[in-house]
Chain A
């Protein structure tokens, strides 16, 4: 990547079709370029894309194993393969780059590239981070991606901060068997599910993010065990949905004005403490949640639900999850939600009813003693809400 090897590809007089190619030396792109096949930047070769460049693909994509530096450029196409970064280190930097119309806008396989202020829109998947990638994803905008805005997979230890996730087709972001080094300061709005954290081995710390106006702000599924701290979860249909052995730690968050702040289902035993709940018609709702069912049926049900199944949903994969790892630690028929502040109205109601009361903002076994499955009645768990806090844990100025 020596300077003398750099040559310029200047296309200043309108668009011209370019051919598929493997770059053999350091290259600079500028202007408008169109490709119909794969472009490869092998290891040891650098590609610089000048500000204002517009790169489009009618087929193929850009695959970089060397270095890519791009600023204020646009990569677009219709169902093209997108940009792939293979093991690129922090010398690969994309800043204020727009990527659209791809199957996967940006696939990061390993490495630690810096992705700053990207606009990732209208792809099938916006960005996918995998292969233990330690990428930095900062201040990006993910919008209109048909499936997922940002996929964090495969032990990726990326840092994801200051991003906005809006109007994506299924999930704003999806964390699958990964623990990002940081996941904070992000905003999620108008997504069917803002943030999905699923499968055993997904135990990220999600801290200081805002979730507003989503169908479901955060969903935790299939034995994932994240920590959810200091997030604002406001004005969603469901603030937090926990199901199938989801056991997060939920603390220091504000749940405000959601139709249901937290829904729990199918043997999920989180620790919910030190949060504020205000303006939610229902703060906690339990559905199909029973320690008795878990003791009798849980292990058998999970046998067919283990994440590490083989190629076509049967057999065993390489990364087996043991039943011991997925079994709840405590099965006494309760869900722990003590030490929370339930808002002014909730606090008054608790003061009236006391520890033995049945607060109207919690739907549990006090409201529906049993549910029926396969002809048998199981007791619905109850929520332990006492002792509760007399004052808010979070400051309003924290989330203006």
Chain B
């Protein structure tokens, strides 16, 4: 604990030293982060940028560094080399005089800072409601009808994203609703610009990796702009079946990409027997929640896995049978326990064995 506090103090002092040095050096700048905050795609002045060392949601600790946006929504924060989580905030009043809180995590968190300035892509803040989700507004939103092959499609979920940085995938959506038996959906949303996608998984679930045969689609009119007091009728929203060949090509990229950097090992049950059908996950976040950055193919009958990683670095490693959602009875689950924090550090371009990873069944 003392060590980490000392490290933070050291970094802060380093940052302060760098800032002071820069004050006397005219235009020359040191390392840091810069970017622009937006709201409804417009520059957001006088907003706050907070920089954290960890992705803790409760953020009970003070931010490592803080900056403010200028009239053009731009900001720059001096930072020593390291990896940082950026969030944007603005507390104020909305056009109707109500208190309003705008907030968003930078979609690409965390950002690595090396010798010079790392540019964080501009991102929109969104109005926060209860539970941190999008605040709803009864007088504005969108409605539409999901279809497949020209017919109404029931049971699919519609996801509302405010950013495209994650490729409109994963749990960073602001809202998700399930269409009714006729494919109709209605979502109350505050005024803003949104990207809508819809998915129907064969098992009916709201989250999880898509598979061949599932249905998927992005609304053709994306992005959708909702104005105050306006409820948009979107009309038909077509979904198509995921083709097995296309899916296989996608699997070869992204979280499943085969790279030269990987972790290997074997998944065993408490009796030491290999366990089949378990995925191994790598997270950058020690809490190991949300979407992992890399996922292994399921283990075979020998329990062995290869987890390909994009970059070298420190990853937090867990294993379970399902892709997402709460643990279910009958599911295998476990963590890499070579370190108490379940972390492993791997150098880029190297293959590192984790040995065995023990999983247990949840009942």
Contacts and interface: CB of A to CB of B under 8 A. Distances in A.
A62 B127 CA distance: 47
A131 B205 contact: yes
B287 A154 contact: no
Contact of A170 (B203, B318, B363): B363
A64 to B, nearest CB: 10
Interface string B301-333: 100000000000000001010001111111001
Given A43-B213, A314-B287, A315-B287, A154 B326 contact: no
Interface in A36-93: 42-43, 65, 79, 86-87
B323 to A, nearest CB: 9
Contacts of A230: none
B277 A103 contact: yes
Nearest to B319: A312
A247 B288 CA distance: 33
Contacts of B334: 312
B329 A174 contact: yes
A312 B333 contact: yes
A254 interface: no
A27 interface: no
Interface string A13-52: 0000000001000000000000000000011000000000
Contacts of B251: none
Contacts of B320: 311-312
Given A109-B202, A130-B204, A148 B330 contact: yes
Contact of A176 (B203, B207, B287, B329): B329
18 contacts: A86-B202, A86-B213, A103-B276, A103-B277, A110-B203, A131-B201, A131-B205, A132-B155, A154-B328, A176-B329, A307-B326, A309-B327, A310-B326, A311-B281, A312-B320, A312-B333, A313-B327, A317-B326
Interface in B266-324: 276-277, 281, 287-289, 301, 318, 320, 324
B38 interface: no
Contact of B213 (A42, A133, A174, A313): A42
Contacts of A314: 287-289
B241 interface: yes
A148 B201 CA distance: 24
Interface string B333-363: 1110000000000000000000000000001
B213 A312 contact: no
A318 B131 CA distance: 12
Nearest to B342: A312
A345 to B, nearest CB: 37
Nearest to A133: B204
A310 B203 contact: no
Select the residue from B287, B324, B330, B334 with max chain A CB neighbours within 10 A.
B330
Given A311-B281, A314-B289, A315-B289, A131 B202 contact: yes
Nearest to B292: A311
A121 interface: no
A318 B205 CA distance: 11
B288 A310 contact: yes
B206 interface: yes
A151 B204 CA distance: 16
Contacts of B335: 312
Interface of B: 155, 201-207, 213, 241, 244, 276-277, 281, 287-289, 301, 318, 320, 324-330, 333-335, 363
A308 B289 CA distance: 13
Given A130-B204, A154-B204, A318-B206, A311 B327 contact: yes
A317 B330 contact: no
Contacts of B318: 311-312
B202 A318 contact: no
A151 B330 contact: yes
Contacts of B327: 309, 311, 313, 317
B333 A313 contact: yes
Interface in A307-332: 307-319
Sort A-B residue pairs by CB-CB distance and give the 3 closest, nearest first: A131-B204, A317-B326, A131-B203
Contacts of B325: 317-318
A233 interface: no
A147 interface: yes
A110 B155 contact: yes
A393 interface: no
Nearest to B205: A131
A309 B334 CA distance: 14
B175 to A, nearest CB: 13
